[in-house]
A and B are shown apart, each in its own frame.
Chain A
């Protein structure tokens, strides 16, 4: 079994998951109480207009047929129209403005988490049992245990209100100014990064220590390879595999975190959109957001699988 075969299987699996997942999202939206016709037509709805609306949008068809209609629309790039929000815009346009903001904050947070955890995890493992290790491990536990909304307020209080280094509210989209985006996005990204960095650092530390005990590391040392060479080629590259796997698994928590963090910092991204849409009973928008998150998580997991396969020959042969 070669790498290409592995890749095909994984992509096929991801597509199948999207199909099943999107059906479940569709089903849950259908099972939710309330008639979209009522939501659209409002108080003035008569049984005739409701029936006409149902006929127009195929709502009187069996559920599988309805799913088929929706899926076909989505595949053609049409996510439908918003019922309540933003003056009945096409949802596609709504996502086009909101998604980049969330992607930016999420990636920013992920990069911060990865950088912090690589440094802290490696330092802790290299100085195992020493003060550095204890300090790094303690900070990691703190990062994991702090609720993200609380930590957000602490950051706002300290760095926005007291020190005035960063804005406390709002976000400059990367489209307007990259520097502004990195500046105004720093606190929310840090709030998202904190728990992830804690988890990643601990995983990396444990994995490095475990790998360093392997006999091939001893063997490499016995040949007199320089310590940095042994660390990079024998310890780190093997130890980083569980780290990458956990990174992929954490991305879905990142999405959950985004919903809260965007609220706290007043950022109009995907998270805020989904919450607003849910309150406004705007089912098509909630549905589209859920689908976007699903595709996002699966895409990242696919990426992680590919990276792991490149790092670890055991996965593909």
Chain B
């Protein structure tokens, strides 16, 4: 299995490099000042304002992912984690900023040019049943993208599907099944196999275990860990579960209302969080360190539709000062690999 995995990883890397020969040290994915906004149709603020109102789902977010790295994105629901994932796959059009994959800027790329980069970026979704077409057998679901991207000669498609299923821990007999005949865990393995057939460089996993039974969760998490260690695939792991993130990720980015507020290596984030929101978040899972102060959750939450200029966390922050009200703090590197968006981090 190990040798097999190694050759598979090698073939993955070969594919990646064939697409764009680049220096090993450049990050696989580089996101700069990404801004994704949605037009609001309803709601009081939209009705009262003259022009169209926008909601900044992702507000000038920057980060890099290295080869074989697992980056966790954590935050409350609505914080923009999923939007980042989908924007990287160009499922949402970014308003501004850039997405660079293997040194190639795909932010404004047209559909036709983009097609050859799409196979490199794969996504695994939250709801396993809804992520496969109910009218298609597992075989059809895996074969259609293979044929579209001409990944291998048609005669080898079956072999490749079998390989991917085996790597995801499923027997090839599942090929003939329909999604409704499989369990949640099996479906998620099929979804992962579908991503693997493409030999991707990056997999965006959007809450892939949150809808699974607890007993199956660990198996799927271990599968992701395997994919990363054996095949060197980079993963963006979107989750609201900090324990899951700590288990799987190398680095974790914390999101709050569209802003990336802190990003750090996983152990550093858990043992020495700097941003007051990260601290509050860790407090809620009962991690060691200072417990949650009453002041930290009190106060009104930020309204993302109203275009406020200050720090997103201002209303709830126990360390706020006057200048937090006037501008959102920029990202600042406090230590190698540890970035934070807070004016007052030194006080904590």
Contact = CB atoms under 8 A, between A and B. Distances in A.
A224 B148 contact: yes
Contacts of A129: 41
B91 A238 contact: no
A237 B135 contact: yes
Contacts of B86: 218
B118 A215 contact: no
A234 interface: yes
B132 A216 contact: yes
A313 B86 CA distance: 30
A220 B135 CA distance: 14
A312 B134 contact: yes
B150 interface: no
Contact of B178 (A221, A234, A313): A313
B133 interface: yes
Contacts of B133: 216, 220, 233-234, 238
B264 to A, nearest CB: 29
Interface string B51-71: 000000000000000000000
Interface string B126-137: 110011111101
A5 interface: no
A310 to B, nearest CB: 10
Interface string A288-317: 000000000000000000000001111001
A68 to B, nearest CB: 45
A223 B141 CA distance: 12
A314 B131 CA distance: 16
Contacts of A314: 134, 178, 180
B131 A238 contact: no
Interface residues of A, number: 21
B121 interface: yes
A124 to B, nearest CB: 16
B148 A215 contact: no
Q: Which of A220, A221, A313 has the most CB of B within 10 A?
A: A313
A237 B133 CA distance: 10
B91 A311 contact: no
B243 interface: no
A214 interface: yes
Contacts of B137: 313
A222 B121 contact: yes
A223 B178 contact: no
A141 B75 CA distance: 43
Interface string B105-136: 00000010011001101110111001111110
Contacts of A225: 144, 148
B180 A223 contact: no
A238 B141 CA distance: 14
A158 interface: no
Contacts of B158: none
Contacts of B148: 223-225
B89 interface: yes
Q: Which of A215, A219, A220 has the most CB of B within 10 A?
A: A219
Decide if the interface of chain A is mainly helix, strand, loop or mixed: helix
Interface string A59-94: 000000000000000000000000000000000000
Q: Which of B121, B122, B144 has the most CB of A within 10 A?
A: B144
A223 B148 CA distance: 8
A261 B127 CA distance: 49
B172 interface: no
A216 B130 contact: yes
A290 to B, nearest CB: 38
Contacts of A222: 89, 91, 118, 121-123
A220 B111 CA distance: 14
Contact of B145 (A223, A313, A317): A223
Nearest to B145: A223
Nearest to A234: B133
B149 interface: yes
B130 A214 contact: yes
Given A215-B125, A238-B135, A317-B178, A223 B118 contact: yes
Interface in A225-247: 225, 233-234, 237-238
B125 A223 contact: no
B130 A215 contact: yes
A104 B324 CA distance: 75
A225 B114 CA distance: 11
A317 B178 CA distance: 9
A113 B114 CA distance: 41
Contacts of A238: 133-135
Contact of A223 (B41, B130, B134, B149): B149
Q: Which of B133, B137, B180 has the most CB of A within 10 A?
A: B133
Q: Which of A129, A311, A314 has the most CB of B within 10 A?
A: A314
B134 A313 contact: yes
B181 interface: yes
B152 to A, nearest CB: 15
A219 B141 CA distance: 10
A311 B133 CA distance: 12
A138 B134 CA distance: 32
A218 B134 contact: no
Nearest to A235: B133
Interface of B: 41, 86, 89, 91, 111, 114-115, 118-119, 121-123, 125-127, 130-135, 137, 141, 144-145, 148-149, 178, 180-181, 191, 194
Given A225-B144, A312-B134, 16 more contacts: A214-B130, A215-B125, A215-B126, A215-B130, A215-B131, A216-B132, A218-B91, A219-B125, A222-B121, A222-B123, A223-B144, A224-B114, A224-B118, A238-B135, A312-B135, A313-B178
23 contacts: A215-B125, A215-B126, A215-B127, A216-B130, A216-B131, A216-B132, A216-B133, A218-B86, A218-B123, A219-B123, A219-B191, A223-B118, A223-B144, A223-B148, A223-B149, A224-B114, A224-B118, A224-B149, A225-B148, A234-B133, A312-B134, A312-B135, A314-B178
Query: Which 3 A/B pairs are nearest by Cβ-Cβ distance?
Result: A215-B125, A215-B131, A224-B118
